Amino acid sequence: MKIVMLDYKTLNVGDLSFEELKALGDVELYENTDIENENEIIERIGDAKAIIVNKTPISKNVIERCKNLKYIGLCSTGYNNIDIEAANERGISVRNCPDYSTYAVSQFTIGLLLEICHNTYRHTQSVMSGDWIDAEDFCYWKYPVIELYGKTMGIIGFGDIGKNTGRIAKSLGMNVIATGSRPTKEGMDIGRYVPLDKLLRESDVIALHCPLNRDTERIINRETISKMKDGVILLNTARGGLIDEEDFRDALNSGKIYAAGIDTIAEEPMREDNVLLGAKNLLITPHIAWSSVDTRKRLLKMVVDNLNAYMKGESINEVK
């Protein structure tokens, strides 16, 4: 079977092996494919029966023109870059990789929060520049230090990553509330399920862990921000499209949102005219929450296992 991997570079920067994937068929590997060039996408897929993608968009037109295509494997949990309806109409199996990054992403989310609360890097810079040498007292702080004990963490999207973030927040003495489509006993053991408006009103910290879809696109906007506490902290390690970036910037600059830590933006890589550049009290990292070598090994194994299961006629991780 011919297998084409259209954008492997972020998954494997040279520290992983594709040998198990190559054992499943005739594999063509591309570091990157131009996401703006649909003709290149179609040409590279050619007569392949199976493709594996991360962020490369697979539109209805691509699906219709690649007549031999039977399988789309994702190197991600999210699948908003695939026209699922068109794939289903053609009987193409689409399979994602849920849960591979649960621990890494929740760890990163809390890491952003702790940096906001302690300003560790800024204080290190201050010490290295000699400020402690010149200090009159045994300690000083240039930025506020925030204690999280007793504060409320609101989590929008209470799947596996959201729950794990909730567990860590709870271990810090925070009260956890969440909104999610399917309340579970596991979730109720971690925190309380509440309506979105209540979560917005009561949370001191809000973490986004929901998928990007029609219901959640720009869920953080001028209207929802107005319902939040003054001085709220916002964290986003999910999808950049969950946030209206202009409204978000305005809220940061006005102080309505005290600070934020985000790992994703709406258009990646960032453009030089992105409205968030220069926003106050904002930590931005380049979509790396998922990127530990342990996480990427786990992801590659799931990619291989999904395709192997398809070849055996088994149904796992299918997206409908």
> How deeply is 17 buried, as exposed, middle or buried, from its count of CB atoms within 10 A (0-12, 13-18, 19+)?
exposed
Residues 186 and 88 in one domain: no
CA 274 from centroid of its chain's CA atoms: 19
Residue 207, SS3 per DSSP: strand
Instruction: Report yes or no: 100 and 299 within 8 Å, Cβ to Cβ.
Output: yes
Ramachandran category for residue 157: left, alpha or beta (phi over 0 → left; psi -120 to 50 → alpha): left
Residue 260, SS3 per DSSP: strand
The closest alpha carbon to 161, from 202, 104, 90, 93, belongs to 104
Residues 122 and 82 in one domain: no
Residue 60 lies in a domain: yes
- Please identify which of the residues 239, 249, 296, 298 carries the catalytic annotation: 239
Residue 319 lies in a domain: no
Residues 135 and 66 in one domain: no
Give pLDDT tens digits for 48-57: 999 999 999 9
Residues 208 and 274 in one domain: yes
- DSSP structural state of residue 24: T
CATH number of the domain encompassing residue 163: 3.40.50.720
Amino acid at residue number 25: G
Residues 250 and 163 in one domain: yes
Residue 317 lies in a domain: no
Residue 318 lies in a domain: no
Residue 200 lies in a domain: yes
Residue 162 lies in a domain: yes
The whole-angstrom separation of Cα 211 and Cα 48 is 29
For residue 80, the model assigns a pLDDT of 87
Residues 89 and 148 in one domain: no
For residue 181, the model assigns a pLDDT of 78
Task: Dig out the tokens for 93 from the structure.
Answer: 């199996």
Residues 274 and 174 in one domain: yes
Asked about 268 being catalytic, the answer comes back as yes
Distance from first CA to last CA of the chain, Å, rounded? Answer: 24
For residue 229, the model assigns a pLDDT of 98
The whole-angstrom separation of Cα 67 and Cα 227 is 49
- Please identify which of the residues 268, 271, 314, 318 carries the catalytic annotation: 268
Backbone phi, then psi, for 95, in 5-degree steps? Answer: -130, 130
Residue 174 lies in a domain: yes
Residues 70 and 120 in one domain: no
Count Cβ neighbours within 10 Å for each residue of 100-112 and write b for 16 or more, e otherwise.
bbbbbbbbbbbbb
- The answer to whether the predicted template modeling score (pTM) of the entire model surpasses 0.75 is yes
Residues 106 and 73 in one domain: no
The closest alpha carbon to 77, from 314, 262, 306, belongs to 306
Q: What is the pLDDT along the chain (320 residues), one digit of tens a residue?
A: 999 999 999 999 999 999 999 999 999 999 999 999 999 999 999 999 999 999 999 999 999 999 999 999 999 988 989 999 999 999 999 999 999 999 999 999 999 999 999 999 999 999 999 999 999 999 999 999 999 999 999 999 999 999 999 999 999 999 999 998 789 999 999 999 999 999 999 999 999 999 898 999 999 999 999 999 999 999 999 999 999 999 999 999 999 999 999 999 999 999 999 999 999 999 999 999 999 999 999 999 999 999 999 999 999 999 98
> How deeply is 305 buried, as exposed, middle or buried, from its count of CB atoms within 10 A (0-12, 13-18, 19+)?
middle
Residue 320 lies in a domain: no
Residues 19 and 164 in one domain: no
For residue 182, the model assigns a pLDDT of 86
Domain that holds residue 67: 2-99+293-312
Residues 77 and 121 in one domain: no
**Cα-based angle 177, 179, 80 (whole degrees, multiple of 5):** 135
Residue 148, SS3 per DSSP: coil
Give pLDDT tens digits for 129-179: 999 999 999 999 999 999 999 999 999 999 999 999 999 999 999 999 999
State the number of CA atoms in the 13 A half-sphere of 164 facing the CB.
15
Residues 199 and 233 in one domain: yes
Q: How many domains, the chain?
A: 2
